[in-house]
A and B are shown apart, each in its own frame.
Chain A
């Protein structure tokens, strides 16, 4: 699915990398607040949904090669986080939606988990 569609499904506001949202497409989504976990399980071709707002989120995404991060349940993000996303060329978006609803909606739209139990 196109990133722009994903973001509008979960009513996310794009903070950085707006120019890429029509080019990037994803089939997989992962949600976690544990950066250690993201490091352990993540794959590049996925959207990361998280509740964390620190610059570490962006750095972790960058190291793993994740190109799009959506922060849930927030209005604003710290400027350091936004600046870092800008510098890394990562699409960063924010939504007021809870993680549960965001994941539920995307699952409904046939986006896939990175693995199935």
Chain B
């Protein structure tokens, strides 16, 4: 987890403020009246205005608080120049997101004008801008290629098989187990039941073993990582065993990275139980003959595996 955070932090915190701020900043000249400012705030639905001189240099700021005070004090027709806050806290346009966040922590203001080296107003940044910029950036990070998006965005994401593309009649599954617990000590209950079920159906020992090991890994992943519940479906086909393990949890940020042996985001308490060594997905791949992992961040993970009957696991 820390590794991921580190990576993500670098990626986000070094973002330039110019990527975050609002460039088309609305400003006002010092000779306007507070009544005019009130109208601008109302029409534009904003809560403050930087004040600039004729050279567009920042000279002050008026906020909705100033307007309220002006209405109460009966000086709403006074000029901005007489009532604005003169020592404005502004941010240089060379700042990064990290500094922006520090500004919001340090000062109780909702917005900061952004100025260049000459003190000229070039933008404004609010908490909302920070949030929107982060979301936009997240969108870029998690952008899947078109083909995946097609599958993921389709309402049938959870209804079609990833391996065969066919509609899955989950109610027709030969085996169903609901992963409805969050206790890591229970992880594997479903896989263990599946193994017993397969043996009871006359599936050979070796195949049942491969299926249950891979399912155990998938089930453990759901319990450790998804933060949600999940389900195991198994279909017994004449030539093969088909298993689908799905959850509706957090999803995997980078499936390729997660597939890498030794990579794990498991917390320490999981590692103390002998898990979280980063071998799960690799082991699932080894045990199965075909495997697909599909994930959408925030929408869960689907793992499908196919096991041809009567074969040994790859070494």
Q: Which residues of A contact B (CB under 8 A)?
A: 33-40, 44, 50, 52, 54-57, 59-60, 62-65, 80, 88
User: Would you list 21 pairs from A and B whose C-beta atoms are within 8 A, ordered by A residue?
Assistant: A34-B274, A35-B274, A36-B276, A36-B279, A36-B280, A39-B213, A40-B286, A44-B205, A44-B209, A52-B274, A55-B185, A56-B188, A56-B274, A56-B275, A57-B274, A59-B189, A59-B216, A60-B274, A62-B195, A63-B188, A63-B192
- Taking the closest CB of chain B, its distance from the CB of A31, in whole angstroms, is 13
User: Using a CB–CB distance below 8 Å, which chain B residues touch chain A?
Assistant: 184-185, 187-189, 191-192, 195, 205, 209, 212-213, 216-217, 273-280, 282-283, 286
Cβ–Cβ < 8 Å partners of A55 in chain B: 185
Docked CA distance A39–B273 (Å): 13
Find the B residue at minimum CB distance from A57: B274
Cα A50 to Cα B273 in complex, Å, equals 12
Whether B213 and A64, one on each chain, are in contact in the complex, defined by CB atoms closer than 8 angstroms, is: yes
Which DSSP category, helix, strand, loop or mixed, fits chain A's interface?
helix
Is there an interface contact between A39 and B192, defined as CB atoms closer than 8 Å? no
| Nearest residue, chain B, Cβ from A80 | B185
**B213, A37: Cβ atoms under 8 Å?**
no
Interface Cβ pair total, 8 Å cutoff: 68
| Distance A36 CA – B218 CA, assembled complex (angstroms) | 12
B187 touches A56 (CB 8 A): yes
Known: A33-B274, A56-B273, A65-B205. A39 touches B185 (CB 8 A): no
Known: A33-B274, A34-B277, A39-B283. 19 other contacts (CB 8 A): A36-B277, A36-B278, A39-B216, A40-B279, A40-B282, A40-B286, A44-B209, A54-B274, A56-B274, A56-B275, A59-B216, A60-B188, A60-B274, A62-B195, A63-B195, A63-B212, A63-B213, A63-B216, A88-B192
Residues in chain B near residue A57, CB distance under 8 A = 274
The 4 closest A-B pairs by CB, nearest first: A35-B274, A36-B277, A59-B188, A36-B279
